[in-house]
Amino acid sequence: MLYELPVQLNLASHFLDARLAEGRGQRVAIRTDRESFTFADVASLSARFAHLLAAADVRPEERVILALGDGPMYVGALFGILRIGAVVVMVNPDLPVDALRYFFEYSRARVALVEATRLDAFRQATNDVSAPVTPGQGPREKTLFSVGDHGFHSALEGYPTDYVPFPSHRDDPAIWLFSGGTTGRPKAVVQTPRSFANAAEMYGRRVLDLKPDDVTIAVPKLFFGYATGANVFFPFLVGASTVLFPEQSTAATLFEKIARHRPTVLVTVPSMVQHMLSHPDAARQDFSSLRVATSAGEALPIELHERWNRMFHVDLVDGLGTAEMWHIFISNRPGRVVPGTLGWVVPGYEVKLCDDAGREVGEGEVGALWVKGQSRGICYWERMDETMRTFRGEWTVTGDLLRRNADGTYAYCGRSDEMMKVSGRWLAPAEVENCLLQHVAVREVAVVPLKNADGLVKPIAFVVAERPSPTLGSELQEFVRTRLEPFKCPREVVFLETLPRTHLNKVDRTALARLVPGP
């Protein structure tokens, strides 16, 4: 089922200007605690950003770093970059200087839109990064726009409120989406207008059934592609609105925003599901405005899912998406949710599970995920070896391991690069993690390999506990031993106050590996 898209496709036109052409310009597009912005307001703001960038000599296909907090300025800047045909490089604005330097070096971006409060960190990050050289003209000046200070806003307001979109091709580079970086440096997937328009239609409209009266709110911030789609592109496609807030997402913050704005769609992740359920005020929350919540970004343990159902009585629609395919392509459905599974393939996509030789495995067997559809990325930037391993003609091999059930649903079984061979047998960390999460004392857990003095690999569990005690480690080991095969029992349990996270707030397994005790 192909979604027909025009050859000329600028995302600012597709998601924003088209709503004005439909007569929806005065509908609310963005809701904040202080004010609301209509689609016409956002279109005007994006045009001003386009003029600002054009005046800075930003050209089509050049990369621009976008590192702002969530709010109307982020959305205006996003569509302003796209409006002029440039490429958006979305970066977490709160990263440390060395991480920011990596993104500047990797992208070779000459221009960045940054928060005024983080300007010094960005200046430090760019000090040792050379600006791109224009043939015959020498280096072009690097520019950091300090979004948020008075001078910037005055300059922005001086630009016109209309800007004819660049005639982007549907297969031009549009946005860089970064891998989670859980086992190494983040790498950019170069994605196209076709990808974003396709997923918004197939998942946003056809699976989530978004309508103009929906109001979305998201736990992940907009620099994460999951949120860029579910909390901007998807609602904008149908003329719905989004709630944006710059504060860190916490359970208390989410409870307050839901009570204030009464959203209909909550976009969340398993770690926040756990935090919300563990909050002392969880049982007193009024979630009656919500018709559905989505979960993605990391595995959703069935235990958390069932606790959510008992507490909040709102459909929690789990699904799987990757940066390589931009957004979700396997998903449960509102009103049709099977806890412990990812649900069914989203319309417009095809999925198969294969062994190491590329042969399809049978029902109930674990296999490597192969997926195809119109949201396939172009490549990993400057990673040709990995590009060839992942993008195989029409198919994308993501590194995820799944199992197809008899009812046509798919179960997540971990990632191939996280599997460990213990006592000659393959172990998926997610299986042990899901088991440990059933224990009342465990809040969060991650299992990584430990190599002992004999060079043999054994599992080790890093646990965030409610109340650690001297005997809790052995208690957790016995808990696993009585529920799983003996070789799956963690050889050690290490307690941490928090698990380290990547720039996309996923568990940083590389950082955990550095904490593994030596043999």
What rounded mean pLDDT belongs to the chain?
A: 92
Could you tell me which of 233, 243, 328 has the C-alpha nearest to residue 13? Answer: 233
Mean pLDDT of 100-116: 95
Q: What is the pLDDT of residues 409-422, one digit of tens each?
A: 999 988 887 788 78
Quickly list DSSP for 3-22.
----SB--HHIIIIIHHHHT
Mean pLDDT of 3-17: 96
- Are 169 and 8 in contact by the 8 Å Cβ rule? The answer is yes
The residue that leads in pLDDT, 470 or 502, is: 470
Q: What is the pLDDT of residues 429-453, one digit of tens each?
A: 888 988 898 898 998 899 988 776 6
32, burial (CB in 10 Å: exposed 0-12, middle 13-18, buried 19+)? middle
Picking from 41-45, 131-135, 185-189, 474-478, which range would have the lowest pLDDT averaged per residue? 131-135
- Residues 254 and 503: their CA atoms lie apart, in Å, by 21
pLDDT grade for 183, boundaries at 50, 70 and 90: very low
Please tell me the number of Cα atoms within 13 Å of 264 on its side-chain side. 13
SS3 116: helix
Q: What is the pLDDT of residues 234-261, one digit of tens each?
A: 999 999 999 999 999 999 999 999 999 9
- Residues 426 and 447: their CA atoms lie apart, in Å, by 14
Q: What is the pLDDT of residues 309-338, one digit of tens each?
A: 999 999 999 999 999 999 999 999 999 999
pLDDT grade for 476, boundaries at 50, 70 and 90: very high
Give the per-residue pLDDT at 182: 46
How many CB atoms lie under 10 A from the CB of residue 125?
A: 24
- Are 394 and 372 in contact by the 8 Å Cβ rule? The answer is yes
- Residues 360 and 254: their CA atoms lie apart, in Å, by 42
pLDDT grade for 138, boundaries at 50, 70 and 90: low
Q: What is the pLDDT of residues 147-156, one digit of tens each?
A: 988 889 999 9
SS3 309: helix
Q: Which residues contact 308 (CB under 8 A, 6 or more apart)?
A: 273, 277, 293, 314, 316
Q: What is the pLDDT of residues 374-417, one digit of tens each?
A: 999 999 999 999 999 999 999 999 989 999 999 999 999 888 87
Domains along the chain with CATH numbers: 11-404 (3.40.50.12780), 419-515 (3.30.300.30)
Give the per-residue pLDDT at 133: 64
- Residues 464 and 441: their CA atoms lie apart, in Å, by 9
- pLDDT for 170 beyond 50: yes
- pLDDT for 191 beyond 70: yes
Mean pLDDT of 19-39: 98
CA distance readout (Å), 354 to 193, 394, 395, 431? 29, 15, 12, 20
Full-model pTM: 0.86
- Residues 286 and 259: their CA atoms lie apart, in Å, by 7
| DSSP annotation of 148 | T
- pLDDT for 85 beyond 60: yes
Query: Considering Cα of 505, then 510, then 515, then 517, what sign does the dihedral take?
Result: positive
